[in-house]
Amino acid sequence: MFSTFSRWIRPAAFIAIIASALGAIGSAWAAPQVLKIGWTTADSKSDPYAITAHYFAEELEKLAPGKFKVQFYGGHQLGDEMQMLQGLQLGTLDMGVITGTVIGNVVPSYQLNDLPFLYKTNQQAHEVLDGPVGRILEKQLAAKSVVNLGFAEAGFRHTINNTRPIVKPGDFDGIRLRVQPSDMFLDSFRALGANPVPLPWSDAFTAVQQGTIDGLEIPLAVIYANKFPEVTKYLSLTRHAYNALALLISEQTFRKFDKTMQDNIRQAARNTITRQRETMAKNDEDILNKIREAGMKVNEVPDLGAFRALEAEVYKKYRAKIGADVLDAALKEVQEK
């Protein structure tokens, strides 16, 4: 067919037509691959979820210029975290920044970081999650069709409320606190004497504003980025749990790419996590000052051991669910540091 067609046109014109067709095909292949990434908190420069998403886009562009286009969907535009996690499993959502607590509903070992007072420092948490324990968690989630690219952080969770400062365990008595929808969080705060209330994140601000609850347990950056100083009086630095943020990609999305592009995604995620953690460390003191300036009363908690002593039964109860291998490995690592 091509030889017959070429006899009816000049050779130069024929070459031009073929070149144009190949150029069009090349342009189609060169179009950037769209990655939609969602999270539930504010799309703010100080929000740890948003920082993770935007840093990932920047790092991916450095490694693969023009190959990807990351689209951002913060502020629970794509539903709550459980809905987004299900979307990742089904392949209807490309990427998400999702707290480990919610992932724990699908892979129970992810509840490790929710154990009360497990880590003393951020560095301890990093070493556990970047090491053999983290590899186990990633493998278990991969079996559910979601690729964990690593753990960014929102830092330690603290307590905010409108009743009283929390200084000793008895100060929790009767306080209605919004907690993440997790049996472990419910058990942990009941052990401290609080009245925990599981609410979706999207309902939290209105609930405390209207007095349905007295307060929340929440990371520093999320307090400020989501305007909680406007509706709560007291911030107590209880450091009761470490909030790890998993940077996830749907296995269906990940498999669409060749090895080079997959490697770019993984490397961009590693770069993102290093950079995001550094940013969070620098931001903490500045955010605390801003929270004080916004009118909240901030207090340290002098004896966290008194709180930890009340949680022994929680560790026993969740040992099998988390996995004895995961829990023992994590405890060994934090005790050695």
Mean pLDDT for the stretch of residues 45-49: 90
Q: For 110, how many CA atoms within 13 A lie in the half-sphere containing its CB?
A: 24
What is the band of 6 on the pLDDT scale with cuts at 50, 70, 90? Answer: very low
Query: In this structure, what token pair is assigned to residue 3?
Result: 């030889």
Q: How far apart are alpha carbons 104 and 222 in whole angstroms?
A: 21
- Note the pLDDT of residue 1: 46
What per-residue confidence (pLDDT) applies to 16? 52
- Asked if 218 and 160 touch (Cβ cutoff 8 Å), the reply is yes
The end-to-end CA distance of the chain, in Å, is 74
Q: Which two tokens stand for residue 172?
A: 């929790």
Q: What share of the chain in percent tops pLDDT 90?
A: 78
Q: Is the pLDDT of residue 259 over 70?
A: yes
Confidence of residue 294 (pLDDT cuts 50, 70, 90): very high
Rg (alpha carbons) of the chain, rounded to whole number: 24
Mean pLDDT of all residues in 314-327: 96
How far apart CA 275 and CA 265 sit, in angstroms, is: 15
Strands 95-99 and 146-161: what pairing? unpaired
Backbone torsions φ then ψ of 40, nearest 5 degrees: -100, -20
Q: How large is the average pLDDT for residues 282-286? A: 87
| Type of residue found at 23 | G
DSSP-derived pairing of the beta strands 234-250 and 95-99: antiparallel
User: Residue 88 and residue 66: Cα distance in Å, rounded?
Assistant: 24
Number of other residues whose CB lies within 10 A of the CB of residue 221: 25
Q: Where residue 27 falls among pLDDT bands split at 50, 70, 90?
A: very low
* Domains of the chain: residue spans and CATH: 32-336 (3.40.190.170)
Taking 60 as the threshold, does the pLDDT of residue 28 lie above it? no
Q: Is 163 helix (H, G, I), strand (E, B) or coil?
A: coil
Over residues 89-104, the mean pLDDT reads 95
Strand-pair category, 234-250 with 297-300: parallel
Q: Which two tokens stand for residue 73?
A: 């969907």
Residue 246 pLDDT greater than 70, yes or no: yes
Please give the pLDDT value at position 67. 97
User: How much is the mean pLDDT over the chain?
Assistant: 91
